[in-house]
Amino acid sequence: FRSADALYTGNARIQRDEAVRSATFGAATLMFAAAAHSFATGAMVGFDPDKVAREFRLSPNEIPVLLMTVGAALPGNWPQKPRRSLQEVLEFA
């Protein structure tokens, strides 16, 4: 077994992949916690990561993965988009 340090040191791709994975799990946890307190959330992508990094004074080894809105849902908010049923999109081999 390689130590975690040996796995990540000098491997920018694995470091970035782990940062994205960790941020995603962290964001999901925040979304669940917000929902438990009756808040609505929305993860946003499509932003300029360089501008976000500058605005929040991120260090060179910190990357913005997503932005998230958190707040009280307003009455009459748009309903969730219609989704296909689980049986239509999932097949067990």
Q: What phi-psi label fits residue 28: left (phi over 0), alpha (psi between -120 and 50 degrees) or beta?
A: alpha
Per-residue pLDDT tens digits for 19-30:
899 999 999 999
* pLDDT number for residue 70: 95
Cβ distance 38 to 71 under 8 Å? no
Distance of alpha carbon 86 from alpha carbon 47, whole angstroms? 31
pLDDT for 3: 78
Average pLDDT over residues 32-46: 91
- The string of pLDDT tens digits covering residues 43-92 is 988 899 999 999 999 998 888 999 999 999 888 777 777 888 888 888 88
Q: What is the value of pTM for the model shown?
A: 0.68
